[in-house]
């Protein structure tokens, strides 16, 4: 039989499909693998860690964080928080909640977080005062003060869509307005993916946010164009993956309770952003031509001519991520820094006196 053009091409396609099917069924590596280390139903694949799940809050009763969460506010203790410069905050704690005090400034966590699941409960002031952006305005920021999920009393309060409750401010309005009345407790469950940057500062992958407002999806894995801000959309500026979480002082006495966060991704060391006053004690010249400087709020160690960006694990202990370099600073009884011990690949190391 003589084949016409279309019969010939469909025969070629059938042969290719058959060949592809045979190839994939003959070779186990032909299967799509979400993680190439594990076979489908691999008996050796680690079991998920068993945790105690969260207990949801009601209006009257505060719920409980899941057992593997870092509790950021338990109704009493403000010690995980500070003003943006690391000094104690003036926000007040009362009856199991904390409340923004007008003019006291944003507050931030001492600990830094990258990719995470963040649970926030908040209530707008009652009776409502002001309108539009002036009513019950605060905000939950990821990446220090860069990426805001808007907190606003959006109950019968008209404002621009990309500034209402649950918006990614100035970028994405919420999919719906799921607001409760002012004075009622509202819940944000936020999934944050930190942006990643190349060494030259170019964006490798942008920040992403998913937000549930009172259990309703209002942001579905949206890709941020850059930091959020009033009046414009600004470009990304390179920053470390893990940063504090902050809450906005927009001049309204918004309340917060039951705040917790779960870090996602590979487990790593805890990181903190120390108070400026503490960090500023470490820079200077150290013995044998070594040096510590401060750049963009982070310590940088120049050790044997190699530059290491340092991350704080405690007020005195720092580590690099590029090489296993660890630094322990020692101070005298007056708080004056006397030396740094630099360990490379093992404990101990060289003691370098500060000049």
Q: Which residues bind Mg ion (CB under 5 A)?
A: 137, 139, 150, 248, 250
Cβ proximity to Mg ion, 125 vs 139, nearer residue? 139
Quick one: 74 or 162, whose CB is closer to Mg ion? 162
Q: Which is nearer to Mg ion, 101 or 275 (CB)?
A: 101
Least distance to Mg ion, CB of residue 224, Å: 16
Q: Reduce the secondary structure of the chain to three states and give it as a string.
A: CCCCHHHHHHHHHHHHHHHHHHHHHHCHHHCCCCCCCCCCCCCCCCCCCCCCCCECCCCCCCCECCCCCEEEECCCCCCCEEECCCCCCCCEEECCEEECCCCCCCEEECECECCEEEEEEEECCCCCCCCHHHCCCEEEEECCCCEEEEECCCCCCCCCHHHCCCCECCCECCCCCCCCCCCCCEEEEEEEECCEECCCCCEEECCEEEEEECCEEEEEEEECCCCCCCCCCCCCCCCCCCECCEECCCCCCCEEEEEEEEECCCCCCCCECCCHHHHCCCCEEECCCEEEEEECCEEEEEECCEEEEEEECCCCEEEECCCCEEEEEEECCCCCEEEEEEEECCCCCEEEEEC
Minimum separation from the CB atom of position 192 to Mg ion (A): 17
The minimum distance between CB 166 and Mg ion, in angstroms, equals 11
CB of 133 to Mg ion, least distance (A): 8
Q: Which is nearer to Mg ion, 163 or 240 (CB)?
A: 163
Closer of 243 and 290 to Mg ion (Cβ):
243
Cβ at position 152, least distance to Mg ion in Å:
6
Nearer to Mg ion, 100 or 342 (CB): 100
In angstroms, give the least distance from the CB of 169 to Mg ion: 6
């Amino acid at each position: 039989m003589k084949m016409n053009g279309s019969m010939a091409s469909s025969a070629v396609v059938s042969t290719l499909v058959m060949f592809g099917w045979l190839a994939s069924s003959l070779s186990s590596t032909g299967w799509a693998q979400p993680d190439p280390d594990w076979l489908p139903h691999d008996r050796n694949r680690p079991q998920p860690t068993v945790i105690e799940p969260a207990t949801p809050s009601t209006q009257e009763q505060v719920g409980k964080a899941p057992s593997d969460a870092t509790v950021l506010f338990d109704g009493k203790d403000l010690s995980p928080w500070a003003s943006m410069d690391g000094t104690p905050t003036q926000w007040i704690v009362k009856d199991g909640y904390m409340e923004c005090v007008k003019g006291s400034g944003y507050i931030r966590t001492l600990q830094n977080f990258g990719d995470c699941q963040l649970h926030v409960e908040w209530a707008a002031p009652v009776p409502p005062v002001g309108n539009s952006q002036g009513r019950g305005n605060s905000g939950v920021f990821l990446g220090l003060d860069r990426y805001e999920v808007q907190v606003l009393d959006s109950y019968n309060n008209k404002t621009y869509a990309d500034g209402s409750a649950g918006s990614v401010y100035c970028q994405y309005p919420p999919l719906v307005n799921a607001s409760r009345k002012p004075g009622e407790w509202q819940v944000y469950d936020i999934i944050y993916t930190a942006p990643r940057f190349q060494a030259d500062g170019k964006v490798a992958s942008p920040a992403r946010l998913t937000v549930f407002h009172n259990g309703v999806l209002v942001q579905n894995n949206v890709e941020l164009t850059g930091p959020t801000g009033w009046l414009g959309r600004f470009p990304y500026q390179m920053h470390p993956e893990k940063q504090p979480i902050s809450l906005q002082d927009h001049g309204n006495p918004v309340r917060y309770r039951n705040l917790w966060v779960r870090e996602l991704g590979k487990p790593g060391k805890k990181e903190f952003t120390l108070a400026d006053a503490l960090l500023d004690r470490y820079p200077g010249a150290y013995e044998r031509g070594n040096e510590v400087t401060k750049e963009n709020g982070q310590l940088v160690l120049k050790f044997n001519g190699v530059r290491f960006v340092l991350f704080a694990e405690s007020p005195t202990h720092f580590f690099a991520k590029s090489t296993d370099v660890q630094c322990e600073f020692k101070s005298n009884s007056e708080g004056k820094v006397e030396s740094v011990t630099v360990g490379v690949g093992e404990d101990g190391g060289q003691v370098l006196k500060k000049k």
